[in-house]
Structure 1
Amino acid sequence: MLILGRREGDSIIIDGGIRIVVVSCDRGGVRIGIDAPSHVKILRGEIADQVKSENERAAAPVGTEWLAALGAPTSKPAPEPDA
């Protein structure tokens, strides 16, 4: 990780035409502006973590007890053999 000291109005240029500007600083935090090409996706870290967590939860195996409680079949019946 690269750590830089910047002041209000200072910027950082990242390969690919991404420019990060320090808009303001105070005791409550730092406000930054990001100028990037439209094809570059920019997400806040906590949002990316939430999306990852939700994707992992959705992909996890699910118990079928709740389906049975609703009266839904929990497994497909075996096909009958051809006679």
Structure 2
Amino acid sequence: MLILTRKLNESIIIGDNIEITITAIEGDQVKLGIKAPKQIDVHRKEIYDAIQTENSAASCTDLDLLKHFQEKLNKK
């Protein structure tokens, strides 16, 4: 992990097209501004983790459920 020290209104650049700027420091909170291309998803880590968990659960379809739908389709 790279650790950087930045002051208010200072930035870091990731790659050629992502800029992260310190926009405010209030007590123990730091507010970040993120400039990135629209095609790049930017999420808080807990949201990203929740999305990954949901995607993983959705991809584990019960085979019995699929067989049930297959049987219903074949009856039509």
Q: Please, what TM-score do these two structures have when normalized by structure 2?
A: 0.71
Match of 1:41 in 2: 41
Identify the structure with bigger relative contact order (alpha carbons < 8 Å, sequence gap 6+).
Answer: 2
Over the aligned positions, Cα root-mean-square deviation in angstroms equals 2.3
Aligned length: 69
Mapped to 2, the partners of 1:38 and 1:57 lie a distance apart of 27
Which residues of structure 2 form unaligned runs of 5+? 72-76
Deviations 1:4-61 (Å, cap 9, x if unpaired)? Answer: 0111111001112111000011223100000112222211111110011111222335
Match of 1:80 in 2: none
Match of 1:15 in 2: 15
Spell out structure 1 runs of 4+ moving beyond 6 A.
Answer: none
Match of 1:59 in 2: 59
Letter in 2 for 1:23: T
When Rg is computed on C-alpha atoms for both structures, the one with the higher figure is 1
Q: Please, what TM-score do these two structures have when normalized by structure 1?
A: 0.66
Mapped to 1, the partners of 2:39 and 2:58 lie a distance apart of 27
Letter in 1 for 2:56: E
